[in-house]
Structure 1
């Protein structure tokens, strides 16, 4: 399956849709945890700018 076919979503099975949904959800949660973990570092970078 090519990427443009995947993004159209017409030929997705339910299982594929669930996998894509939870993959994006996990990526969002991981990005949030990363930002929370390193927020002090980011504040220090901004303070020195």
Structure 2
């Protein structure tokens, strides 16, 4: 499957779409936890 076909999404199965969705969701949650965990560090950089 070529990358352009993959990005169009027409040939994705439901399982592939679910994996992509949950991977993106996990990425957002990990980024949020990272920002919360290091928020004091980031505030010290600004001030």
- TM-score bucket of the superposed structures, by smaller chain: over 0.9
* Segments ≥4 residues shifted beyond 3 Å: none
* 1:19 match: 19
* Aligned residue-pair number: 47
Deviation at 1:5, TM superposition (A): 1.2
Unaligned runs of at least 5 residues, structure 1:
none
Task: Specify every segment of 5 or more residues in structure 2 that has no aligned partner in the other structure, as ranges.
Answer: none
TM-score normalised to structure 1 length: 0.89
